[in-house]
Amino acid sequence: MAKAPVAKFRIGFVEAAVWNNDKFHTVTLSRTYKDGEEYKTTDNLGQSDLLNASKVLTRAESWIAEQ
């Protein structure tokens, strides 16, 4: 069974997921998009995603710092 992230932060289509890897945390950044009727995720960001990426990464960093 895959582990779930310990925290997620989302703004618009951009999400930062925080993972606990025993002694430290890691963060993955993704963007959701719709392909026909199906929702998919990618790690490619467009210019319009960058401000939201910055904000969710700041939230993730603050959450990790509080742990």
| Predicted local distance difference test score (pLDDT) of residue 22 | 86
Enter the tokens of residue 64.
Answer: 């990790």
Per-residue pLDDT tens over the stretch 3-20: 899 999 999 999 999 999
First to last CA, the chain: 25
Whether pLDDT at 2 is above 80 = no
Please state whether the predicted TM-score (pTM) of the whole model is above 0.85.
yes
Task: Report d(CA 3, CA 21) in Å as an integer.
Answer: 10
Helix or strand run (H / E) with residue 66:
helix 50-66
| Predicted local distance difference test score (pLDDT) of residue 14 | 98
Per-residue pLDDT tens over the stretch 47-58: 999 999 999 999
